[in-house]
Every structure is written in structure tokens, then in C-alpha cells.
Amino acid sequence: MTTRRTVLKGLAASAASSLMGPSLLSQSASAATSSAGTWRLTGSHWGAVEALVKGGKVTEVKPYKNDPSPTDMVNGIKGVIYNPSRVKYPMARADWLDNRENADRTTRGDNRFVRVTWDEAIDLFYEELERVQTTYGPSGLFAGATGWRQTGMFHTCINHMNRGVSMHGNYVRKVGDYSTGAGQTILPYVIGNTEVYSQGTSWPVILEESDTVVLWASDPLKNLQVGWTCETHESLPYLDQMRDKIAAGELRVISVDPVRTKTQNHTGAEHKYINPQTDVAFMLALAHTLYTEELHDTEFLEIYTLGFEKFISYVTGQDDGIEKSPEWAAPICGISADDIREFARLLAGGRTQFLFGWSLQRQQHGEQPYWMGTILSAMLGQVGLPGGGVSYSHHYSGIGVPESGANMPGAFPLNLDLGKVPEHDSEDFNGASGVIPVARWIDMLLEPGGHVQHNGHDITYPDVKMCVFTGCNPWHHHQDRNKMRRAWTKLETVVSIDFAWTATSRHSDLVLPACTQFERNDIDTYGGYSNTGVIAMPKLVDPLYQSKTDFEIFTMLTKRFGRHNEYTRGMTEMQWVRESYETTRTANAGRFEMPPFDEFWEQGLVTFERGENWVRHADYRADPELNALGTPSGFIEISSRTIEKFGYDDCGAHPKWMEKLERSHGGPVSDKYPLWMQSCHPDQRLHSQMCESDEYRATYTVQGREPVWMSPQDAEARGLADGDLVRVYNDRGQLLAGVRVSDNFAPGVVRIHEGAWYGPEDASIGALDTYGDPNTLTLDVGTSKLAQATSANTCLVEIEKFEGIAPSVTAFGGPGEVTL
């Protein structure tokens, strides 16, 4: 068997001529010191990297030498540390500092900030928490929106904020996330697990056993460049193997996507173009063909599933008079009836592995295609077979790389210590809910006391007056900027903790400068799901300007009410890091040897043998009773009594085709706004992170703006050429972007990557966004009453050439400093 270590050795050896320096386990910081500076290994979302520190500055960053497939984004890392958008000092919004809750809230975002000292800033933060808790109670505070904080288990800033603020009082929290909100809600009813964050069948098994792999709305080559913890990129060589197998005729890979993806182009996979947002129609017609041609596995359905009859009577039209035949689906999904039938026969003709991406469920009724994915695999009878069945996660954080089985370091405790209560211990939310579905929080601000259905519960929106944000950028991640701007006037106080002057920082009242991960000591998991190793993250440089670690910031805050010793447990940063490592070492003792801490810190990385291959759902297949699924019945639920009982009109007893509020290719609103805008995850960023990296941003911008990708046909029809500046607009907003014409895009399909920094011309509602944040245009409605997740990819736009003098980009460089 090829072990993890032999793989790495092999890689190191093959590249030996171009590499200097020590072997895997002696990537020592001190060993590499010379007059030319010190090379240090550290971890990040973008992989392990080596940084040259010279004269107190990071002067160069390159991929870790054993990274099998480094991302180009490593070239943006230096610019995350050094850029004009860093928050240098604590700052307060000028009008708010004078008038607090009586300040003019319509001027948030007008970029008038005043510098304050750290002491003043922490006083202000504490005073506002006190005021809100005593005046309104816990329903007045929202501190639950969290996101892609930089890596490092100890400094995980979300946990620092939660622990620090929790010591002071209770607050409104969120449930779910933007990534997989619909998927993680529907799948437990269908297949007993969220699936989206679960380990998947090992790649070697898929490559060996599958006849056909369907990449359904999935672009792993793009999305596996980053990981939730330090990414190893071990999954990427499997995509090279996939390419080789396709070339050798040993494997068919089909990408079902409106766009020709990076993965498809790299591997030579076949393209099955589909009209955006119409996958469910296509899937129902596939089910129809499998059923009418008797290609479905009746035995599997009988033993392992419930509710097939009810579903199939919808497919055959017995219950609503509409047969979901290929002829019915063809005009909706843009795939001919013959091609649909042929595709169904191909799926049934051998071992078929579905690999679903997540974008598909970030659209209205996003629950439905996920439910259908399980049903198609069940009809094929392949759930739990090696190289067959369904996965919803292989494009994420190294899922599918065989696990080592080792324990990994734990994170900083996010909750109060056992038995402790907050300073303000009221749990009275004034009759409102203390937990709300994450993507509905702008509705919450707009409709206090309003109701919304969510996953079988009736949620009452609390009357929130203050928000605290850290490690997330809601003025990038949430939909419909102008609606957000209206909601924002409702808030008395907004506190942001970040190292960058993001749009969220600019729309805050108090901004506290955190430092980046490169300015603190930490420890991280190397390989999010593979648990390949533990990596040291030594501080490269001291915190820049007046920035501080999140740990220091919340130590200062908790000191205001005398609980800092409880917060820190009396330990320093290095003591926490050391303890985290030693606890892991003890847990692994006897199974995975780890050197003592000092040795680890010196060598930088400890890795473990790679584990055995594994097949998802194989245990269920082997014994469905002993290994019952987590669904209400324990079986795969093709129809769900539980969901049916909720009585929702937009998510019923079984999957259905439902028209969207906006849909291109002849769907609603397409006469006015004919172009579907997808806001997929960026190839050269992690969401909004790294957008501030000026030099790196310049490698992809067009006339200094975010690119909008479009087909040659759509460009020609509008008299546009590659490199043109355009206005992209709909009834919700408008933005400037730069045209990139590409054959990868079909007519009617355009893309602006999420995470482009929002830079409105001014603070008015409807203002032109000068850089190109797609969420200036997206629709802010829940996927359905079940999940209430984001529907970002249900969005139509029109594009026109921008004539005249273009306003300069306002998104970067931080706000103006005023003196009062």
C-alpha cells in the first residue's frame, strides 16, 4: 500500500533538483535562518506556505515544497498582510461617536471616521453592550453571523467573540450557513445526515470502481484550492488521475453545468449543458426514463427506501395529470428528450458516482435537486457501493482523501466554562426567537415581531438593536445590498472586528483592528478531513500598526467586567498553543507518535500515515437495520411524512419541479432581464479575502473592476468586447464591471464571483457599485419555508456598455479620517 509518507517522499524526490533545504520533518525555522532572512513554514486556508521574513517584514511567500498542487492564490498572501486597506487603529464613526444611538444612521458608509485609543474603543464596546443588555435584554443583540475566519485553532476569532460576548450576556444567534443551508436541512430527512460536511468515498475507490462520474454543479479543481483548516491539496492529484483515466477511455466523467468548468477543461470531462436552475426538471425526466424503461432497481427500493410509490405517481403524472417525461422536461432544461433518455441509460448501464457541488442549492427551492440526487442514486440501486451512489461534498476541504484516523487539536472554547453564567443572565427574548435561520437576518432587522416558518418551527423575529461582527464580512456575504442598506438604519450600534476595511467595517460604528494570522502564534490541523498532520503557525511578524490578536481584544473587553482570568484561564497565547498540542499528543499516544511540543515547534509539521480507503453508506447497505440511517424511519425517504406534515407550499412530501421567481431561458422575468447571473466562488480569492491584495487583484481585474464573464454571443448582441467597462443592473441595483468574453459560458449565462468588495459611489440607496459586488444585484429570499437558506443564484440581470467618465473605485484603501 502506498502510505502518506511514501507519497510525500516521492514528491519531494521528484522535485529534488529544484528544491533546497531539509526534508519533510525538519522544515525548521531556525535551521533556515541566514543573513538573507528566515524562511518559516506556516499554515493557511490556501495551504502550507513558506514565508521569508527579512528585517521584520514578510518579503516573499511560496508554497510549501511538499504541496502536491499549490494554488496560485499563494501569490496574494503577502498582499493580505501589506495593503492600503488594513485597519491601522481603532476607529469610530464620527457622527456615532458624538450621538451614539441618536446618531444619523443613514450616513453609515459615508466613510467619516475618527481615530480613538484602544482604551476608549474598548470602553465604547463595553458601554454599548451594557446599554443594550440593560435596555433591551438579549433580544437586542445579534452576534451570531460568522464566516471564514483565518485558520489557526487557538485564534479562531469566531470562538473568541462568542466566548467574550457570552460572558457579558446572551444574544440572538444564527442557525445554518450560507454554504449549504438548503442541503444541510433537507438531507437529514432524506438520507439521515447533512452529508455536506461528511467524509465521502475515497477518491482511489471512485477512480477505480466507477464507470461514470457525474460532476453535478461541481468544480473541484477551483474549489479545492482552499480548505477550512490548513489545506494539503492532496485531493488535487486525483483530478490528474481522473484526466488520465478519461484519456485512456477507462472512465467517463460528465459535468452537468451551465458553464464549462475549470475541472472539465482540465480533465477533458464531457459537458452536459443545462439551463440554469432547471436541474430538477431534468432529474425528474431521468427518473421517468429509469422507471418507464424498467432500469430502476426495485429490490433496492424495497429494502432500503420508503415512499417510492407516492413519488413515482407524481413522475408519471398520476397525481397531477402532468407526466414528467423527457418531452416535458426538454424545453425547460434545454436538453433534448433523446439526450435525456440516453443519459438515463448511461447512468443505469454501469457503476455511477454522483458528485454534487453546492451552488445548485444556493437557489430558490435549493432543497429539491439535493433530494432528487439521493432518489436517482436509490433508483439506480447504487447507494453504498464502491464507486457508486451519491456525494455532496467531494469539492470541499479534501473530502475523499483517506483519513489518517489521528486526533487533531481542538479549538479555543467558544462557550462559557461549565457552571458559569453571563453577567447579564436573562434568557428572556421578549417572546421572540433566540435563534434565527442565518440567511434571514436582514428580514429580521426589517420586520421585528414578524414571523417566518423554518424547518417545522414558527420563528418570531427579535427586535435587534446592536450587531457585533468578527471573522465574517456580511457586506459581501449577504444578498441584496440596497435592501441591506435600508435594514441597517434600524441598528443603533454596529461593532466590527477585522484587519481589513471591508464594506462591513465601513458600515460599522466602531471598528477594532485585529491582526492577521501571520502576526500571531498558532497551531492547526493539516488536512481538514484527512487529518494528515498538525502544523505549527509561528508568528512571522509583530501585529502591524495598532492591531491586536482577537484573544487580546476580548481579554481587554472581559477585563472591563472583571472576568478576564476566566476568559484566558490565566494562560498566555503560547501556553494555549502548547496545551492544545500536548492534549493532542496524549490523545494520539500509542497510535500516532508525536514529538514533544518544543521539537514540533522547531520542525513545524508532523504528519501521519494515510488511512484505508472507505466507502460512504456501505455500512447501511450491508445492514440497513443495524446501521439504520438518521431519518425518521431509518431508511432513505423518497417521500417524507415529516416534511409533508409541515404543510409547506414550497417544500412538500417529495421533490417537485417548481418555477422560480426569476429564471433565464424563457422563465419568469427573462423578457426584462434576460441574463442569469451566477455568483460562484472565486478562482482567485477566498470569498472577499485577498480582494484587498492590490498587486494580486490586478492580475484579474478589468479596468480596475471585477470581471463579469459572458458568452461571445451575449457580448456581440450588446456590442461589447473583452475589456469593456459595463453597467450590470436589475431592479435591485447596479454595478460596474469589466467584460471577459469566454467560450466557457453559454448564451444567457454570466458570472461575477462572490466576494468582490462593495464600493458604492455614495451612501445612498441604489448607488452605483464602482467595483462589482454581485450581491448588489442578488435576490434576498429564502430557498423555502423548510431551510430559509440563501437563494443567491436566483438572479437575472441586463448588461450595457458604460459610456462616459467612469467613477473611480471606492472599495479599497479605507475611509477618510476626520477630526471633530
Ligand X SMILES: Nc1nc2c(c(=O)[nH]1)N[C@H]1C(S)=C(S)[C@@H](COP(=O)(O)OP(=O)(O)OC[C@H]3O[C@@H](n4cnc5c(=O)[nH]c(N)nc54)[C@H](O)[C@@H]3O)O[C@H]1N2
Residue 45 touching ligand X (CB under 6 A) = no
Residue 498 touching ligand X (CB under 6 A) = yes
Task: Provide the sign of the torsion angle of the four alpha carbons 727, 83, 474, 198, taken in this order.
Answer: positive
Alpha carbons 301 and 810: distance in angstroms, whole number: 57
Alpha carbons 539 and 81: distance in angstroms, whole number: 12
Task: Provide the sign of the torsion angle of the four alpha carbons 577, 579, 584, 590, taken in this order.
Answer: positive
Residue 97 touching ligand X (CB under 6 A) = no
Closest CA to 783 of 174, 163, 307, 367: 367
Considering CB distances under 5 to 8 angstroms, the limit depending on partner class, which of Mo ion, ligand X, none binds residue 529?
Answer: none
Site string for ligand X, 344-363 (x = CB under 6 A): -------------xxxx-xx
User: Least distance from C-beta 650 to ligand X, angstroms?
Assistant: 17
User: Least distance from C-beta 712 to Mo ion, angstroms?
Assistant: 31
Q: Kindly tell me which residue out of 424, 621, 687, 740 binds ligand X, with binding defined by CB under 6 A.
A: 687
Q: Which amino acid is at 127?
A: E
Q: Name the one range near ligand X by CB under 6 A: 95-103, 469-477, 534-542, 604-612.
A: 469-477
Q: Kindly tell me which residue out of 755, 772, 782, 814 binds ligand X, with binding defined by CB under 6 A.
A: 755
Residue 257 touching ligand X (CB under 6 A) = yes
Q: Find the largest Cα–Cα distance for the chain.
A: 80
The total number of residues shown for the chain amounts to 820
Residue 673 touching ligand X (CB under 6 A) = no
Q: Name the one range near ligand X by CB under 6 A: 236-244, 315-323, 677-685, 693-701.
A: 677-685
Q: Which residue lies nearer to ligand X by CB, 32 or 651?
A: 651
Query: Residue 659's CB: how many other CB atoms inside 10 A?
Result: 14
Residue 510 touching ligand X (CB under 6 A) = no
Beta bridge partners of 271: 255
Q: Which residue lies nearer to ligand X by CB, 466 or 629?
A: 466
Closest CA to 203 of 791, 614, 670: 614
Q: Kindly tell me which residue out of 195, 754, 769, 780 binds ligand X, with binding defined by CB under 6 A.
A: 754
- Residues 165 to 184 in contact with Mo ion, rule: CB under 5 A: 179
Query: Residue 374's CB: how many other CB atoms inside 10 A?
Result: 25
- Residues 143 to 172 in contact with ligand X, rule: CB under 6 A: 147-150, 155, 157
Q: Which residue lies nearer to ligand X by CB, 12 or 541?
A: 541
Considering CB distances under 5 to 8 angstroms, the limit depending on partner class, which of ligand X, Mo ion, none binds residue 682?
Answer: ligand X
Closest CA to 726 of 777, 687, 671: 777
* Distance (Å) of CA 135 to CA 59, 140, 145, 468: 50, 8, 22, 17
Residue 179 touching ligand X (CB under 6 A) = yes
Which pairing describes strands 796-801 and 725-730: parallel, antiparallel, or unpaired?
Answer: antiparallel
Say if residues 349 and 644 touch (Cβ distance below 8 Å): no
Q: Which residue lies nearer to ligand X by CB, 341 or 663?
A: 663
Kindly state the cell numbers that stand for 194: 447533512
Q: Name the one range near ligand X by CB under 6 A: 48-56, 218-226, 409-417, 625-633.
A: 218-226
Q: Which residue lies nearer to Mo ion by CB, 92 or 182?
A: 182
User: Least distance from C-beta 684 to ligand X, angstroms?
Assistant: 7
Alpha carbons 454 and 440: distance in angstroms, whole number: 10
Say if residues 32 and 65 touch (Cβ distance below 8 Å): no
Q: Which residue lies nearer to ligand X by CB, 28 or 361?
A: 361
CB-nearest residue to ligand X = 147
Residue 784 touching Mo ion (CB under 5 A) = no
Say if residues 426 and 168 touch (Cβ distance below 8 Å): no
Q: Name the one range near ligand X by CB under 6 A: 230-238, 324-332, 492-500, 574-582.
A: 492-500
Residue 277 touching ligand X (CB under 6 A) = yes
* Helix H or strand E encompassing 79: helix 78-81
Q: Which residue lies nearer to ligand X by CB, 396 or 620?
A: 396
Residue 665 touching ligand X (CB under 6 A) = no
Q: Where are the alpha helices (DSSP H) in 660-800?
A: 694-697, 712-717
Considering CB distances under 5 to 8 angstroms, the limit depending on partner class, which of Mo ion, ligand X, none binds residue 29?
Answer: none
Considering CB distances under 5 to 8 angstroms, the limit depending on partner class, which of ligand X, Mo ion, none binds residue 500?
Answer: ligand X
Name 560's Cβ contacts closer than 8 Å, sequence gap at least 6: 122, 123, 126
Name 577's Cβ contacts closer than 8 Å, sequence gap at least 6: 154, 521, 522, 523
* Helix H or strand E encompassing 589: none
Q: Kindly tell me which residue out of 279, 297, 403, 662 binds ligand X, with binding defined by CB under 6 A.
A: 279
Task: Provide the sign of the torsion angle of the four alpha carbons 461, 465, 470, 475, taken in this order.
Answer: positive
Kindly state the cell numbers that stand for 345: 441509460
Site string for ligand X, 789-808 (x = CB under 6 A): ---xx---------------
Interface ranges with Mo ion (CB under 5 A): 179
Interface ranges with ligand X (CB under 6 A): 147-150, 155, 157, 178-179, 216-219, 222-223, 225-226, 256-259, 261, 274, 276-277, 279, 357-360, 362-363, 395-396, 470-473, 476-477, 497-500, 502, 514, 550, 678-683, 685-689, 754-755, 774-775, 778, 792-793
